[in-house]
Structure 1
Amino acid sequence: MRYENDRPIYLQVIEDISRRLIQGELALGEKLPSVREMAVQYQINPNTASRVYKEMESRGLCYTKRGMGTFITEDSGMIKTSQSEMAENCLDTFLQGMQAIGIDLDEMIQLLRERYAKEEL
């Protein structure tokens, strides 16, 4: 994984795990790697990996069973919430970029339709 310099690494790892969950690569209730395993997998400091799990747990995306490890939430509603949040972030970035170059709503919609049509091929 390539990290962006302008955003904290732990947030980028959370986004990657959330994306994998939304896309079905990770299943509800699935056991996540240990903190050390995650640190190796993502090439991050173990303290950063620990922060990832703490933040995910505070968001309701995972839970810890003492002595057993950390698991993906079994609440499908939390996955839907995460998907909605990620979509909102994508839209915010898109809208800010388009507004910065002077594209109005009608032009945005037309550009989206054209691009979407190309992607469906």
Structure 2
Amino acid sequence: MELELNSKEPIYLQIIAHIKKKIVSGELKGGERVLSVREYANEIKVNPNTIQKVYYELENEGLIYTQRGIGKFVTENEDKINSLRQELFNETIDKFIEDSIALGFTKDKILAVINERYKGD
């Protein structure tokens, strides 16, 4: 994971976003143990207090849970994960639309380009 140290977004929020993407992509699976605070802090070279804050926020959102004496784990709640996936998708689309409008594109042009470039069925 690459942190943007000069970003206006705090490091802990960058880490939260990174973990959320790993959860919705399935890279971190439901029920999978996440690294301990110390392990993760060492891996990405940040203060353990930063990771503690990240895990606290993710636990408050119901994305991870603690099993006392064992560790922290990714939620197995598929509704929670699907809701997060939709939330991240909406944020991506909103940013795309905002950026496209700022570049002077109309709704019709945006949709035409999406239809032209879409590689799916």
**Superposition TM-score, scaled by structure 1 size:** 0.89
Cα deviation, 1:8-62, whole Å, max 9, x if unaligned, reads: 2112212211211222211111111100111122222111100110000111101
Aligned residue runs from structure 1 range 1-121, under 5 A: 1-4=1-4, 5-117=7-119
Identity fraction in percent: 40
Q: Provide the C-alpha distance between the structure 1 equivalents of 2:16 and 2:73, rounded to a whole number of angstroms.
A: 14
Q: Distance in 2 between matches of 1:6 and 1:111?
A: 31
TM-score, scaled relative to structure 2: 0.89
Cα RMSD of the aligned pairs, angstroms, is 1.3
Structure 2 counterpart of 1:72, which letter? V
Bigger mean CA offset, 104-113 vs 1-10: 1-10
Q: Structure 2: which amino acid aligns with 1:97?
A: D
User: Distance in 1 between the 2:88 and 2:73 partners?
Assistant: 21
In 2, the alpha carbon distance for the partners of 1:42 and 1:96 equals: 32
Q: Which structure 2 segments of 5+ residues have no match?
A: none
Deviations 1:51-90 (A, max 9, x none): 1100001111011122111111111111101111111111
Count residues in correspondence. Answer: 118
For structure 1, list consecutive stretches of 5 or more residues without a partner in the other structure.
none
Paired residue secondary structure (1:40): helix
Structure 2 distance, partners of 1:85, 1:8, is 20
